[in-house]
Each structure stands twice: as C-alpha cells, then as structure tokens.
Structure 1
Amino acid sequence: MCISLAISGTLVDTSLYEILEDIICERVHGTGHRDDKCKDTGVQTQLSSLMGGLQAAMMVPGLVLTVPYGALADRYGRVKILGLSLLGITLYMASMAVVCARPDVFSLKLIWLSPAFQVIGGGTMVANPMLYATVADIVTDEQRSSAFMYIGSLVMAGSLVARPITYLAMSRSAWFAMWLGIAWLGITTVLAFCIPETLNVQAAVETDPVAVETPPDGKSPVLRFIATARAYVTKTFKTIRWLFWEQRLVGFLLVGLTFETLGKLAQLVSPQYISKRYKLSYSKVNLLQSIDTVTVLVLLLCILPVAGHLLTTKLRLSAREKDLRLAQGSAVVAALGTLVIATADKMSLLVVGMVTFNLGGGYTYLLRGLMTSLVAGHSIGLLYSCIAFVDTIIFMVAPLLYAWLFNVGLGQGDAWIGLPYLVGGGILVAAAVLVGLIRASFVDDVGTGGEGDEEEGEAGEESTGVR
C-alpha cells in the first residue's frame, strides 16, 4: 500500500508541474515558444501562485473533517476510513486532470475546486494517520518507533522506485504519466478495502477513559440520532482535552511536531527552485530528487537504529530520552541542510545540502512513536487525526508562505532565490530548541533508564488503560 501510494503520487505530482508550465508558457509566449522561455520569471511566478493555491485548497477538507473521521476510526475501524479517503483522493486527481486537459474551456484556477472531492474520506490528512493507526494497533510500545521508521522506509522505497518510472513515463509524455498515476491510485484504493481490520472495537470501548452518554430510549429516531451525534461530538472534545491537556507531555510534543513540519515544508518549492536555478527540466529534477529517497532510507534503516542502540546500551538512556535526543539532533541537521541548499551556487553543493537535509528526517517518526506510547489504543486514531488537523493548518499556510517567499526571492535576484530555505532553516532551529526545553522540563517523565522507566510504564498502563 505504501509503495503504491508513493508511485502514484509521484507520477501525478511531477506531471502536473510539467503540464501546467506548458499551458502557462503557451499563453505567455505563444505556441512556438522555446523550452527555455518557460523558465523565465513571468511563467514561474504564475506557476508558483497556481500551485500554492492548489496546495492550500487541498488542505480544506482535512481541516474540517480530519478529527471527525479520526473519532469514527476509533469507533468503527481503520480500514473503512482509509478506503474512503483514497477514493476521495482518486476523484480529486481525476477532476484536476480533466480541467488541465481542456484549458480552452476551463480556467486553470478551477483546479482549486478539485479538492472538494476529498470530502469523501477527508483526503491525505486522513489517509496518513489511518496508515499509522493501523500499524500502531498491532505492535508493542517497544516496537512502535521502529515500526514507524519502517513505514517511512517503505514510503521512501516506493519513492525510489517511482523516480525512474516517472522519468520513463514523462519521456513518453506528461499526460501519459498523469493518467498512469491516477489509474495506479484507483487500483490501490480497491486494495485498501481488502486490508484486514486491526481495531478491536470492544476492547477500545472498554478501556476508553471518556464515556459516551447514550440517549435514553423512547425518543423518536430523529431526536435519538441528534442526541447520539451530540454525545459523540462532546466525547471527541473531552478526549482531545484529555490527550493534550491532562497529558502535558503529549501536548508539548505536538507543538514540537508543528515547528518541524512547518520548517521542512520549505521543500515544497524544491522542484521549481532547482529547475529555475540550475535550468533543469522537471523530469530531470524528479530524477535528481532520488538522492532524497536514498538518504532517508539509509537514515531510517541504518543510522537511526544504530544511534538508538548506542544511546540505550552505552549511555544507558531510557527509550523516551533516547527518542528526544535523536529528535533534537535531527532538527539541527535538517536546519543545516536547508541553509546549504539556500546558498548552493553549484550542483555539487546542492547535493550536499539535500543529503544533509534528509539526514534530519527522523524527527517525525521519533516524536510520533513517543506520543503513541503515552496514550491508550482507544485514542490512537483521534491522536493521529489531531496531529493531522494541525498539519492541515500548516499545509494551508506553508504553500502560500513559501510561494510568496520564492516570489520575493525571484524579485530580488538569483542571490535570494533560496529565501524559502533560509526561513525554513530558522524554524527548524526553533524545533530543536523546543525539544531541548521538553527534555529539561520533563526529566522526571522521560526518565534516565532502567527501573524508573519500568515503574512509570506500569503506572501509565494503570492510568490510561494501555493494553
């Protein structure tokens, strides 16, 4: 599933840039334009604004529906919600392709309406947490961080496979790559409904710390439905309060994830930044970004596991303290990588910056694993949905922010074209500082190893109902 999603997503995303650039370039320079004309500031500014608006519009369904769908997943199961979200994504991509296929009939800005199809299932901001929740249901606390890294590795492996597939498909035509990606995603959607359900609904209800006040019998079906819906909305808000207020560490970790996500989204402008600065086609940029995939695979499969083993065996750190230290280091390394990319005037320096940036990719998996270990199985879906809700807000703001910063950089000349990376690097530094403060503030919670952790784990199981 992860590999298929990575391949279909890469096919559609890469071809969309090429298709939109060609349409805009033809409108600006006419039908007989040379390819190098498509890289000028006028075309690239329009493309940046169009993609920024699309990426922001794509987040709207998730902003409204992520938390409700997460609550439903904790009540009725993960697979149904996952399948619905992929169905909505497939319809969204297909409608966008239709708009681009007839630029003589439709305004390109109509692609901003395509994400409305993601009301079905909530879109990517629901699909992603459902994948994590599915795995979290069937692994132990000790296995969880490693399992999340393996998920990331599978996604990266899919991206690695997707790069040459996309390059070959784009060599035939951007439209061939587009329709191939949509068809691939459609097949993946069918497969999603075939995944065995992982949630034990009865056990989840029994261990839930926030009970649902069911409406009394005797009411009409309509009134009973309204009362039931009101009860579940109330339960959802009470559970969110329990997750992020009564569980203070979980709340602070969510803030850390927010900073890290916002900082790393500077890479949203990577295709356009690399294409503009180094005069490369998008198919070649896509192939160059295979460096990202290989680096993250090495990080998740080799570097982080070895570093974690050394921290727990040599320094005798607890699992929580180990995860926090690795997360802090990841944010620092990623910040350094963004600064190198922003100032790279040669392709060799760009590659160094890309490798460094991706060596800081463990932050998200480490903090997600730590947060999951602090809550019970009955609330995992809602926890991930709340994380996705915050991500949705960030993904709505970040494309517009970084598109604006990119345009500002373009206006100031080539020396400032890396402005989005400079800002992203500063935000990642803030994420590293925040994790350091969390370690200092919660030294009693994270423990320093051995027996203290074991006692704390037992207490946590008793108070939260963890299996």
Structure 2
Amino acid sequence: MNISHDEDATGEQERLLSRRHGRDGILEDAQGANLKSTPPLTRVILYFMAVHFLLAFCEMILVAPLIKLFENSLCLRYYDFPKDGVQETLCKAPEIQRPLATIRGWKSSFDMIAVLLVAIPFGRLGDRHGRRQIMGLAVAGVVFSLVEIFIVCAFPRIFPLRLVWLSSLLLLCGGGLNAASAYMWALAAESHAFYYIFSAFYVAELIGSFIAEITIEITPWIPCGLAVASLIACLTLLAMMPNTRKSSLDSRVDESTKSSGMRDILSTLSNRNVLLAVPVFLVGIFRYTTLNILIQYASVRFRLRISTGAAFYTETAVVNIFLFMFLIPQLSARIRKERNVRPQVIDLFLVRSSVALMCIGCLAIGFAQSGLLLPIGVFIFASGFGSRVSALSLVAYWIPDDTKATFFAAIVVFESLGHAIFDPAMQQIFASSLKLAEFWWALPFFVGAGLYFCAVVSASAIRVDQKEIDVQDRDEISDHED
C-alpha cells in the first residue's frame, strides 16, 4: 500500500490522528526504544484496515437481512404457516410490524448491555494477556450469537422469535462487534494511521449494503452466510497478524495510569466546553438507529422493498467516503493554509454544521410524502455523520494528555448505555406510532430532529478561547523540544 504524504492534502488527517495518541514522555521514550522491534507501518495499516473492513462488513450486510428474517418468522406464525408461504405485502400489517419493532428494539438493548458488562473487564485482560486473543474471543462470541439467531429464524414453527434475545447472552463472550472494534483501536494505538483504518468502515458499508441489496431478494440467507464468512476470515487474519504489542511500553504505561479513572473523568467534565459537547456524543448514537428504523418505515409507509431500504446505507457510505477521504481534509487544509484558521475553530464549525444537518435531514425524512423524496432526506442526514469524529477532535484540546484514554473509553461506555436505553425507546415510539394516522408513522424522525436540535443549541454555546489556543501551542512546542 503506497500512502501519500503530501503535506497540504493530509495535514488535516495528521492533526486528527495525532490527537488519538498521548504525547507524554513515557510513551515517546517507549516508542523510540521499541521502534526496531515493530512491524513496518504500511504492513500494520493493511492488517488493521482489513480487520476493520471485515468487522464493519459483517455489521452492515446483516442489517436488512435480519429484518427480513425476523419479519418472515412473525409473518408465518401470524398466518399460521400457509403451504404456499406469505406474500411480502401481507407482512406489512401493523399486527406484525409492531411486535417486529419491539423485538428488534429490545434485542439491540440487550446487545448493548452485554457491551457494558464485559467490555472494560475484557479490555483489561487484553492489556495483560494480549489484545489479539481477547479480540478473537469477541469475534467468536459474535459467530455463536449469529448461529443462535439463524437457528431461531430457520425454524419458526419450533422457536418463537423472542428467543433471539438469548443471542445477547453469547455476546458476553468478549462483548460483541462494538467491543471487538474497541480492542482493535487499542491494538492500533501505535500505528499512527487511525484515519486510514477508519475509512475502511465506510468502504465496508458501501460494499456490504450493496451486496445485501442484491442478494436479499434471492434469499436473506446469502448475506447472512457472507457475514459469518467475514468473521471467520477476521479470526484467520488475527492469527496471522504481526505482534504490535510492546512489552516495555505496556508495563510503563500501566504504572503511569493507576490513578482513579472516575476522578479523571469528573475533572474533565468540569470544563464547560467538554460538558457542552456531551449532548453531541449522546445524539450521535441515533445515526444508525434512525437508518435502521427507516428501512422498516419505508417498507410500511411507502411499500418499498426491504432490499430497496438497504440502499440507504449505500447512499450513506458514498456520502461519507466523499466527505472523509476528499472534501473535508482537502478543504480544511486549504482554509488553514490560506486563511490561517486554527484547527479548533474548524472542528467547532464541523460539529455545529454536522448536528444541524442531521436535524434538517430527520425533518426531511419525516415530512417526505413519497418514497422518491426519501433519498434527499437521507443525503442531508448522512452529511452530518462526521459529528462524532469532529467532537472527539474538538474535546481533545481541553483534555489533559494523561486522561485522554480514560475519557475516550468512558465515551464508548456512555454511548453503549445510550444505545441500551434509546434503541428500544425509539423502536417503541415507532411501534406506537403505527396505531396513529399515517402521517404520524414518521414520529421517530420528528423525535430525532428534536434531539438533534438540542445538540445544535448545546454546540452553539461552545466557545474557543484564543488565549487557550496560544497556551496549548506553547505547551506543544515545549513538549517537542523536550
């Protein structure tokens, strides 16, 4: 892989990447001492990009097929298993769609509870005994969980659909896909290539959603099989991956991070700007929850096929690949160079504009009176998906280097808790709205727009102090001189 190092084109990328690594003396000394023992950077980047691609591919390709399988199971039971099957249009009855939304919502909640319970303990085990092994355990847990779901859906006469909730118990083996991704970022912490690795997610989203859209009409079992195959390939890749763990670095960092994590988090939250950024992280969890509901909503309201709804993920991926790989880095680098605008100011603008776009996009989806207008709303909505990355980049300016890892880990737990609470809540709102007039079936999107508007108000109150910027610049110069 030949990575360009053009300064103007990648200046913004390097700035975003650098914030995810500590600059304290312990890390720098340890990295220098172990430089010769680590694999070549390009090789490490390729491994991590492949791992992230496979994990994201599994997640993205399963969204629409699982809805289809769940709907089929409920539909067959509702119509008492007719010999010739059931036409898809008959499965759109509210008596089927309401329990479908409820079951999906609670399953998402139970999955997130598994992350909350085991992610941090397994992460500590990974620090002590090897992160590759723990990540492999998490991926294996996902495989077992999917097998349980597939068995329940394959035999609807024997197993009621609610038994898919038991699959969350199997995610206690490592924490699921979210935890596996978190362990991957811990593995990649010294690769200095977060941007390239992160871009693999949107490539996987584009490919996975496209394949799902094509194959689901043949049978939803094809994308399900591909999802399991991607996880098996991921396990194989983890076994082949070179060791990036530096024993001396890990031991010294462990000794330097024994301070109270909760005290560090509370101290960080005492900063007014960091506290105002919290709503941005909270509403960010609704991005894919909204798209997930949209597939079912479009199927019920506008009679779009579920495979057509999967195309919304493809559209989202295309928009974000363009934004993250081309427009934002190039435009930001040019503005910084020609206008001498500080990175903090650019980050704040991106945060504000992103949450505003998601608010407007939700309203556009909700007010759309035709399925032909939905892609316009999705385009606007997807354009704001960079809110989380921009917010992470922004708050990094106000977080001490020795507490960044703790704070970012707390954000992951916080977001998982939000998923556990709000995913079933949004699904319940949708299920309840199906009892109302057709216009109010879009109620989840109006609720989402209201939440995003709260984030707009909160982000508008964030202020970047030029004096703080000057102090931080002097500190960075001093760190480099040391």
Contact conserved, 1:82 with 1:130, CA < 8 A, in 2?
Answer: yes
* Structure 1 residue 427, shift from structure 2 partner: 1.4
Q: What is the distance in 2 between the residues matched to 1:65 and 1:459?
A: 40
* Structure 1 residue 341, shift from structure 2 partner: 0.7
Please state if 1:85 is matched with 2:138: yes
| Corresponding residue number in structure 2 for 1:182 | 228
Pairing 1:11-410 to 2, within 5 Å after superposition: 11-30=61-80, 31=82, 32=84, 33-139=86-192, 147-148=194-195, 150-207=196-253, 210=256, 212=258, 238-246=260-268, 248-249=270-271, 251-252=274-275, 255-264=278-287, 265-371=289-395, 382-410=406-434
Structure 1 residues 133 and 444: CA distance shift in structure 2, 3 A: farther
* Structure 1 residue 306, shift from structure 2 partner: 3.0
TM-score (norm 1): 0.82
Structure 1 residues 382 and 107: CA distance shift in structure 2, 3 A: farther
Contact conserved, 2:98 with 2:432, CA < 8 A, in 1?
Answer: no
* Structure 1 residue 412, shift from structure 2 partner: 1.6
* Structure 1 residue 19, shift from structure 2 partner: 1.2
Structure 1 residues 285 and 211: CA distance shift in structure 2, 3 A: closer
Structure 1 residues 73 and 16: CA distance shift in structure 2, 3 A: same
Letter of the 2:73 counterpart? I
Structure 1 residues 377 and 73: CA distance shift in structure 2, 3 A: farther
Contact conserved, 2:57 with 2:207, CA < 8 A, in 1?
Answer: yes
Structure 1 residues 398 and 193: CA distance shift in structure 2, 3 A: farther
Contact conserved, 2:269 with 2:275, CA < 8 A, in 1?
Answer: no
Contact conserved, 1:25 with 1:43, CA < 8 A, in 2?
Answer: yes
Q: What is the distance in 2 between the residues matched to 1:82 and 1:373?
A: 30
Structure 1 residues 317 and 278: CA distance shift in structure 2, 3 A: same
* Structure 1 residue 263, shift from structure 2 partner: 4.1
* Structure 1 residue 73, shift from structure 2 partner: 4.1
Letter of the 2:473 counterpart? E
Q: Deviations over 1:83-106 (max 9, x none)?
A: 222121111111111122222222
Q: What is the distance in 2 between the residues matched to 1:289 and 1:17?
A: 14
Please state if 1:455 is matched with 2:474: yes
Contact conserved, 1:8 with 1:185, CA < 8 A, in 2?
Answer: yes
Q: What is the distance in 2 between the residues matched to 1:426 and 1:286?
A: 25
Structure 1 residues 415 and 15: CA distance shift in structure 2, 3 A: same
* Structure 1 residue 25, shift from structure 2 partner: 1.1
* Structure 1 residue 203, shift from structure 2 partner: 2.6
Q: How many pairs were matched up?
A: 427
TM-score (norm 2): 0.80
Q: What is the distance in 1 between the residues matched to 2:341 and 2:451?
A: 28
Q: Deviations over 1:64-97 (max 9, x none)?
A: 1222233444455543332222121111111111
Letter of the 2:475 counterpart? E
* Structure 1 residue 443, shift from structure 2 partner: 5.5
- Structure 2 unaligned spans of 5+: 1-50
Instruction: Report % sequence identity.
Output: 22
Contact conserved, 2:102 with 2:427, CA < 8 A, in 1?
Answer: yes
Contact conserved, 1:296 with 1:361, CA < 8 A, in 2?
Answer: yes
Over aligned residue pairs, what C-alpha RMSD do you find? 2.8
Partner SS for 1:171: coil
Q: What is the distance in 2 between the residues matched to 1:190 and 1:385?
A: 27
Q: What is the distance in 1 between the residues matched to 2:62 and 2:298?
A: 19
The one of 53, 57, 60 aligned to 1:7: 57
Contact conserved, 2:265 with 2:406, CA < 8 A, in 1?
Answer: no
* Structure 1 residue 23, shift from structure 2 partner: 1.5
* Structure 1 residue 257, shift from structure 2 partner: 4.2
Letter of the 2:409 counterpart? S
Contact conserved, 2:301 with 2:438, CA < 8 A, in 1?
Answer: yes
* Structure 1 residue 209, shift from structure 2 partner: 7.3
Q: What is the distance in 2 between the residues matched to 1:90 and 1:382?
A: 29
Structure 1 residues 177 and 71: CA distance shift in structure 2, 3 A: same
Q: What is the distance in 2 between the residues matched to 1:369 and 1:116?
A: 34
